[in-house]
Structure 1
Amino acid sequence: MSAINQMSELNVLLAQEHVQHQLSVPQLVEKIVARNEGVLTDKGAVRSTTGAYTGRSPKDKFIVKDNHSSKDVDWGSVNQPIEEDVFTNLYHKVLDYLKTKEEIYSFKGYAGADQDYRLPIQVLNEFAWHNLFAQQMFIRPGKDELKEHDPEFTVISAPTFKADPEKDGTNSEAFVMVSFKHRIVLIGGTEYAGEIKKSIFSVMNYMLPKRDVLPMHCSANVGERGDVALFFGLSGTGKTTLSADPARGLIGDDEHGWSDQGVFNMEGGCYAKCINLSQEKEPQIFDAIRFGAVLENVVLDSETRQADYNDTSLTENTRAAYPLDHIDQSVKPSVGGHPNAIIFLTADATGVLPPISKLTKEQAMYHFLSGYTSKLAGTERGITKPQATFSACFGSPFLPLAPAAYAEMLGEKIDQFDSQVYLVNTGWTGGPYGEGSRMKLSYTRSMIQAALKGELDSATFVQDPIFGLHIPMQCPGVPDDVLVPKNTWDNPDKYDEKAKQLADQFHNNFSKFSYVSEDIKQAGPAYHSS
């Protein structure tokens, strides 16, 4: 008997008449409109709002510490432990709460496009629009697969259930709790749909390494020659935008696994940021937002219901969720071979990192462990302007295991499959945030295209004296002076000052990785203040 079945109260709830199972997209859309959970846009997409929680709430995320997880999990501020009795108490409260609802919604699907490694999941939602979100984000089973589907993990989401921190042992009214023993994710107090998606990603990050598969916070696409590219980066760095290339097939926009057979998408959909979205700059994403898609916190014209993607009055973290088949170039099934190129994306708010640089293997390991970027406004509660951060493996909030476990696996695969690695700055140029400007998307696309086509192989490279990065002096479609960041600043001395400050931040952060080899330690910035 599975751990889920042992919690028989859940099975009793699922058998009740008010639970709507596996509704189709049109059925869910009808429910959403009838229940006033959202409205339809002029393109037929559902638009819903999420109230106070317009991004993830990392301080409210917990992992149950028990005999299944205590030795494996990298406990700390990211993976906050919570006792099993706190979880089970809330679990029963939430199920009792859901029993009182007129309707709740159940979806069965998969995480993982490779059938050898996919995880059968079930999502139980208080909101119909959250169930539509889950259906579009995860992999949908066919009729025959559904007959054989036996969930190995269940997400239970009750947004209007508010925890009492004093009685329930939480930090606030909101909570996201993962129990690997009971194979349950329990979500309450927050209407932000992204918690559903990211909780399963965290689960996969725990389970896949046990099967020698590297889970990755990255997007992936493939060229006509079968050449696969990976794009690592935190939210807001451009993974979704840059992987949606009309000339390449889209494997996925956010979460992948890398096995001995190649890469595979963990999801069946995309979750794209919508801020300043336009058909001209991002036609694939713009056109994907149609019937079946879900818009989060996007402002609509009250009469025409046309989306205003430039309006950030609700949040800068406006989002669109849509199935992969809304992208014409999506790959079916969403799997590919081993990556030829790996792109590390960073949105550098200081404006001092080069827009593209080629990394040695040791530099790749250094920057993977560092995971430097700037958190952009709206991706988490309380973030109102870019903040410099170091997030190990470009996904620290979603890594239950120690970063070294993932870094070692990546290093082995780079060696085994001879993947080329580049660091690409999609952040600021000509000065820091507030003074310079965001790197033009057209320039970034040209640089990545040149890297994937091998056009940088013949370029002349110079080594940056502060960061030690290898910068190409020419790139098709990009002005030469843009490639060297110092050349874009009006005040070179101020550039040096900012660059040295960031170099020191790299060194200070990397000091926690004292166990890595000396070659990797020396692959960081060449400048040291001491």
Structure 2
Amino acid sequence: MIELFSKPKVHYQLTTRELVSQTLQRGEGGVNDTGALVVNTGVFTGRSPADKFIVKDMMTEGTVHWNKFNHPLEPDAFLRLQTAMWAYLNEKAEIWIRDVFACADPGYRLSVRIVTETPWSNHFAANMFISPAPGELQSTNHCEWQVIQAPGFQAIPEEHGTRKGNFTVISFTHKTILIGGTGYTGEIKKAVFTVLNYLLPGMNVLPMHCSINEGKRGDTAMFFGLSGTGKTTLSSDPERLLVGDDEHGWDDDGTFNFEGGCYAKIINLSAKQEPQIYNAIRPGALVENISFIPGTNRIDYSCKRLTENTRVSYPLNFIENAKIPSISGIPKNIFFLTCDAYGVLPPISRLSAEQAMYHYLNGYTAKIAGTEEGILEPQITFSACFGAPFLPLHPHKYAELFGHKMKIHSVKVWMVNTGWSGGAYGTGSRIKLAYTRAMITAALEGQLDHVSYLAHPFFDMLVPQSCPGIPGLILNPRDAWSDGNAYDLAAMELKRKFQLNYEEIMLDGMVYK
């Protein structure tokens, strides 16, 4: 592929130090007081799910679940778009190419070539994927997949079949991902995640939108949840090894990370609350869309001027207690993280196997402001398997794998509400991070195995009536509301939404089969 470029200077497999230097020389970024590179991703500061396409051809027509997240693109339109992107990049003075791996488990490892228009996008790829060891890539021209990312290239909808000028297009036949019109780096990682979500279930591997850590006794814990629910924060526990913060696979032998880095939200970040993430913002890290405190190069973590979706990417080894290679065992505990904007769900509760399947398929949360374009305040949503935007197959495919693995290994499943208590968004208050950490620790250490439980009056999950270090008023959500009748009405409304969404999934599954 490198020889395809006749005009631009090709920078291949540069170090992050070299990429930072080039970004600064090109005037495309700056450095904060701790030495991290700081960039602005432009118009797009979050993903654009409405502009993600999958090429509909003989391979995908009958396998992809075509829905609001998986939009079809005609094969001819893809070829025209790919040709236009190559021509665009071939006219640039410089381009950057990096060969990486996805999947820490060598049995599933995917080699990916990433071609970028800017050095800082290549820096992101270096942080987020697994770097090959010397000699691990036998040939510089034989990666299985390729990602072409050009923020400055705009598609022509009438010619290329896109909705607007920005796009992410995946062709499974050509093993190619095209990303244009957006500089938001998260599109790169999520596109590769989508590819793995298509490929791995056929190998009896469950791909998961979750974080994983491991205790000192070797016990593995999973944290499912959409962006903004606390996966990165809650899995970054100094008392446990971090396996990964976002994307993993689960096979018959254990679990493994897809990535080689972390991509953490840093809005309102503090050294006291999240020391591991805070300390990772140093030379080699890439910070996106923040503002500085006036007159300084210190990050104003509270500033939302550009977006609430301020981010930092850094290699996994920036976390002192990271487990590398990032492979772990069968999970002993699974936590479903939900940011409940209704303030109805308990801060922690135990789910039966049947309830776990129900909540896994529903994937309830509230999207946090900034994570996607157009989200300005928490927005109630259901996202199947806690990752619907990244699932090319029908949710039932993933649910079947999840249910089988959960039951044969007798995994404990917990629901954790990281959202509101004492009222809905705008009335109640966000549950304290310290409380959430304490409840998760209690579950992991078996301190909730022998306490008394009561069934939730609307959702039936078991709610512990005591937990070390947690006020009893917090545990039962109705007690935290000043008006119990208002709570009942809110709970009934949320339950109704759950049921409607579940019925829609089940009906869609019957039709799809």
The answer for the alignment partner of 2:108 in structure 1 is 117
Aligned with 1:265 (options 257, 274, 282): 257
Residues 149-174 of structure 1: per-residue CA shift (max 9 Å, x gap):
63111110000111222332211110
Give the residue type in structure 1 aligned to 2:16: V
Match of 2:390? 398
Determine if contact 2:385/2:399 at 8 Å carries over to the other structure: yes
Match status 1:96 vs 2:87: yes
Q: 1:21-100 maps to which residues of 2 (within 5 A)?
A: 21-100=12-91
Q: Is it true that 1:422 corresponds to 2:445 in the alignment? A: no
CA distance in 2, matches of 1:292, 1:71: 43
Alpha-carbon distance between aligned partners in 1 of 2:475 and 2:437, rounded to the nearest angstrom: 13
| Residue 243 (structure 2) aligns with | 251
Corresponding residue of 1:508? 500
Q: Deviations over 1:296-323 (max 9, x none)?
A: 1011235421111100110000000000
Equivalent residue in structure 2 for 1:377, among 357, 361, 369: 369
SS in 1 for 2:190: helix
8 Å CA contact 1:123, 1:131 repeated in 2: yes
| Residue 235 in structure 1 maps to residue 227 in structure 2 | yes
CA offset at residue 191 of structure 1? 0.8
Report how far residue 513 of structure 1 moved.
Answer: 3.4
2:304 partner letter: T
Selected match of 1:199 from 191, 198, 203: 191
Q: Give the alignment partner of residue 471 of structure 2, picking from 479, 488, 492.
A: 479
- 1:440 aligned partner: 432
CA distance in 2, matches of 1:471, 1:504: 20
Equivalent of residue 203 in structure 2, options 195, 207, 211: 211
- Which segments of structure 1 move beyond 6 Å, counting only runs of 4 or more? none
* C-alpha contact 1:175 1:188 (8 A) present in aligned 2: yes
Counterpart residue number, 1:455: 447
Q: Is the 1:239–1:253 contact (alpha carbons within 8 Å) kept by the matching residues of 2?
A: yes
User: Deviations for 1:19-38, whole angstroms, at most 9, x for unmatched residues?
Assistant: 11000011101011001111
Quote how far apart the aligned CAs of 1:14 are. Answer: 5.1
Whole-Å separation in 2 of the counterparts to 1:516 and 1:341: 30
**Unaligned regions of 5+ residues in structure 2, if any?**
none
- Greater Cα shift, 50-59 or 166-175: 166-175
1:150-203: CA deviations, max 9, x gaps? 311111000011122233221111010000000000000001000001000000
- In 1, the alpha carbon distance for the partners of 2:256 and 2:7 equals 36
Q: Choose 192-201 or 297-306, whichever is displaced more.
A: 297-306
Instruction: Give, in whole Å, the separation in 1 of the partners of 2:67 and 2:73.
Output: 11
Q: Counterparts of 1:157-176 in structure 2 under 5 Å?
A: 157-176=149-168
Give 3-state SS (helix, strand or coil) of 2:77's partner: helix
Contact 1:348 1:374 in 2 (8 A): yes
- Work out the CA distance in 1 between the residues paired with 2:112 and 2:469: 45
2:244·2:326 contact (CA, 8 Å) conserved in 1? yes
Give the Cα–Cα distance (whole angstroms) in 1 for the partners of residues 293 and 457 of structure 2.
51
Match of 1:348 in 2: 340
| Superposed CA offset, 1:256-284 (max 9, x none) | 00011200000000000011000000000
The answer on whether the counterparts of 1:37 and 1:128 sit within 8 Å (CA) in structure 2 is no
1:290 corresponds to which letter in structure 2?
Answer: R
User: Counterpart of 2:242 in 1: which secondary structure?
Assistant: strand
Q: 1:423 is paired with a residue of what secondary structure?
A: strand
Counterpart residue type for residue 78 of structure 1: F
88-97 or 142-151, which moves further after superposition?
A: 142-151
Which residue does 1:361 correspond to in 2?
A: 353
Q: How far apart, in 1, do the equivalents of 2:93 and 2:7 lie? A: 11
Report the Cα distance in structure 2 between the residues aligned to 1:516 and 1:424, rounded to whole angstroms. Answer: 28
Q: Is the 8 A contact 2:205 2:251 kept in 1?
A: yes
Amino acid at match of 2:192: I
Q: What is the Cα deviation at residue 514 of structure 1?
A: 3.1
1:106-157 Cα shifts (integer Å, max 9, x gaps): 1111110000011111110001100000110000111121335631111100
Deviation at 1:469, TM superposition (A): 1.3
TM superposition shift of 1:369: 0.3
Aligned-pair CA distance for 1:15: 7.1
Give per-residue Cα distances to partners, 1:187-231, cap 9 Å, x unaligned.
000010000010000000001111111100000000000000000
Question: What is the distance in 2 between the residues matched to 1:227 and 1:270?
Answer: 21
Q: Does 1:338 align with 2:330?
A: yes
Give, in whole Å, the separation in 2 of the partners of 1:33 and 1:288. 20
Distance 1:253 1:499 in 2: 31
In 2: Cα distance, 1:51 partner to 1:162 partner:
14
Count of matched residue pairs: 508
CA offsets 1:388-443 (integer angstroms, 9 cap, x no match): 10000000000000000000001110112111100000000111111111110000
Amino acid at match of 1:248: R
In 1: Cα distance, 2:392 partner to 2:2 partner: 28
Q: Distance in 1 between matches of 2:125 and 2:446?
A: 38
Query: Percent of aligned pairs with the same residue?
Result: 51
AA at the equivalent of 1:21 = Y
Give the partner amino acid of 1:460.
S
Which residue of 2 is the match for residue 223 of structure 1? 215
Change (3 A) 1:315 1:507: same
| TM norm structure 2 | 0.97
Distance 1:304 1:255 in 2: 35
Partner of 1:47: helix, strand, or coil? Answer: strand
Distance 2:208 2:456 in 1: 29
Q: Is the 8 A contact 2:7 2:93 kept in 1?
A: no
| Secondary structure, counterpart of 1:257 in structure 2 | strand
Which has the higher mean CA deviation after the structures are superposed, 157-166 or 478-487? 157-166
Within 1, Cα distance between the matches of 2:379 and 2:5?
A: 43
> 1:495 aligns to what?
487
Q: Output the amino acid matched with 2:333.
A: A
Q: Give the one of 283, 298, 308 matched to 1:306.
A: 298
Q: Separation in 1 of the partners of 2:41 and 2:221?
A: 34
* Other-structure match for 2:10: 19
Deviation at 1:52, TM superposition (A): 1.6
